[in-house]
Amino acid sequence: MADAPTPQPVAIETEAAAAPPTAGKRRRLLTILAIVVVVIAALWGLWYFIFEAGRVHTDNAYVGADSAQVTSLVSGPVAEVRVGGTQAVKKGDILVVIDDADAKIDVATAEAAFRLAQQRFGQSAAQADSARAKVQSRDAEIAQARARLIDADATLERTRIELARRQQLISSGAASGEELSSARAAYDSARAARELAKAGIASAVATQNSAGGDAAASEALVRGTTIDTNPDVASARARLDKARLDLARTVIRAPVDGIVTNRQVQVGQRIAAGVPIMTLVPIASAYVDANFKESQLRHVKIGQPVELTSDYYGGDVVFHGKVTGFAGGTGAAFSLIPAQNATGNWVKVVQRLPVRVTIDPKDLNAHPLRVGLTMDAVIDTRGK
């Protein structure tokens, strides 16, 4: 009984012999796990370096467009409204027609005033010609008056000689007193006729000067102008053109291609000039304003490619664009009540700067967007 072996030492030796293989297996598993983690990290790093390095992302981006505000340039009652909200229109399509009865009357009045101005110009030109003709006729009257003066001088000289001869004959008794009186009367009459001829010349010259003044006044109305360049005619033509333009403006047409939005006009409503009646959104030229954090813009440059996705179409539709500009300030700088940072409890807040992204027109034609939709934007800063 004393020589019988005890089983306990054998069990301890067996467990001790089995322990080393279990520890080695654990170490191998940990080593494999570490290798797998390193490989995965390396693959992820390689993928990030190839596909994501240099790309900045934001989901704070919105679709915008330079919408056209349609306003009436003339006032009047609305006769027709040819479009409805959400309707697509082309540039030049008729949107609204205003009653043109008053505009047609204005055109007729302006046409009458234009014809009257043309007639007055013709009258002024005729009066100028008539005044010039009168001046020329006064030259003939002056010549006649001077001829009468010459005749009066000759008559005066003849009667003076006749009077002198009668005076010599009266002393010798060869002529009677009656003959002397008759000769003296003839001399006085000739002298008066001479003075009257002188006055006739002065009167003719004065009349000519007056006619010259009238001719100058008439010529001043038409000098240097034609019926097309005369100020009165040109002013009447301008009023006629304005009336015709107002008549044409009673038909309101689309200024751009777009979608009718916010229509505020009804048939029968009287609209005033300058009041907006609807908005046209040119979705074919839509763009995106992406608000990136200031820390993301270090390497962003104009012209770099951008990829955009929208919840409107889902992630399967990718829009392509490029950076075309940066806003002049952050949204906070131009808010209604700008932040006052010069305070004692100031906390730095990362600001966002709007970046304008122009979308490829082919993508917009294939998948039209609407103003205000949110977008996810990714800029590849490695691209040029």
List, for residues 205-240, the tens digit of each pLDDT value.
776 666 666 556 566 555 666 777 788 888 999 999
User: Distance (Å, rounded) from C-alpha 325 to C-alpha 309?
Assistant: 20
Give the domains, in start order, of the chain with CATH numbers: 54-67+282-380 (2.40.30.170), 68-100+251-280 (2.40.50.100), 103-244 (1.10.287.620)
Over the stretch 93-135, which tens digit does the pLDDT of each residue have?
999 999 999 999 999 999 999 999 888 877 777 766 666 666 6
In 251-372, alpha helices (H): 361-366
Q: Which two tokens stand for residue 375?
A: 């977008």
3-state secondary structure of 340: coil
Over the stretch 158-171, which tens digit does the pLDDT of each residue have?
777 776 776 666 66
Q: Outline where DSSP puts E strands in 179-243.
A: none
Mean pLDDT of residues grouped by 10 in the chain (384 residues)? 48 48 78 83 69 78 94 94 93 95 94 90 70 65 75 76 69 64 74 78 69 60 69 90 95 94 93 93 93 90 93 92 92 76 76 94 93 93 70
Strands 258-261 and 270-271 turn out to be unpaired
User: Distance (Å, rounded) from C-alpha 199 to C-alpha 205?
Assistant: 10
* Angle subtended at Cα 238 by Cα 232 and Cα 243, rounded to the nearest 5 degrees: 130
